[in-house]
Amino acid sequence: MTPFSLEGRRALVTGANTGIGQAIAISLAAQGAQVTCAGRRDCAQTIAAIRDAGGEAEGLRLDLADPMAGQGVFEGQGYSILVNNAGIIRREDSLDFTEADWDAVMDVNLKALFFTTQAFARAALEGGTTPAAVVNIASLLSFQGGIRVPSYTASKHGVAGLTKILANEWAAKGINVNAIAPGYIATNNTEALRADGARNAAILERIPAGRWGEPHDIGATAAFLCSPAARYIHGAVLNVDGGWLAR
């Protein structure tokens, strides 16, 4: 077994129906993990892709608009990997931003992430499924301010902070907690940006790698962070951005 193998591990990936979450689920399965593809929408496409490649996968409907929806999911189920990918965004000038949009984003992106991770860690420690790994999906806006996305920016700064405090508390207990900050990734969510010639050119001009990222770039990084090869990595927020933040 290689240091990158996830054989014998059970993983849950939130928001696994498409894009980055789908790529993460597929990447974990490719390394041998049994993957639960969780989402508020059906994850049949992801499950089919994993099974067609010879992997093991199942689906779970999980709507994290209820921040406590993850309670009871992990107990006695043998999970040793959690990837918190689910997230939402609301766009509006900060002068006009509503409390409803603030609360909706913070509930899914930060509150649900914390309480889902808490439930996972309790089950892992009580069930003896450590070593275990948590990977949170942060953002370039964990470091930058952005424009017209106040709650998203606040939530992703919070994800970076939670990653560090949970690593501080759980590293010695056998639970690795890290995060990935994706750059500009070619998914359905960025289709409009890529279709805008001027905006697309401006983005590519700043990326040293000279290309948009692919979902697999994030998936492969998540699989690494969940593997024994990353056992001494704790509390890191790893930029997978083609060099964007280095500019």
Residue positions annotated with a catalytic role: 152
CB-CB contact of 105 with 157 (8 Å): no
* Residue 60 token pair: 């779970």
Q: Of how many residues is the chain composed?
A: 247
Residues 6+ apart with CB under 8 A from 89: 105, 149, 152
Determine the Cα–Cα distance for residues 73 and 75; give it in Å rounded to an integer. 6
Cα-based angle 202, 206, 211 (whole degrees, multiple of 5): 85
DSSP 76-121: TS---EEEE---------TTT--HHHHHHHHIIIIIHHHHHHHHHH
Determine the Cα–Cα distance for residues 81 and 9; give it in Å rounded to an integer. 7
Determine the Cα–Cα distance for residues 77 and 122; give it in Å rounded to an integer. 12
First-to-last CA distance in the chain?
39
Q: Of 178, 156, 154, 180, give the one whose Cα is nearest residue 165.
A: 178
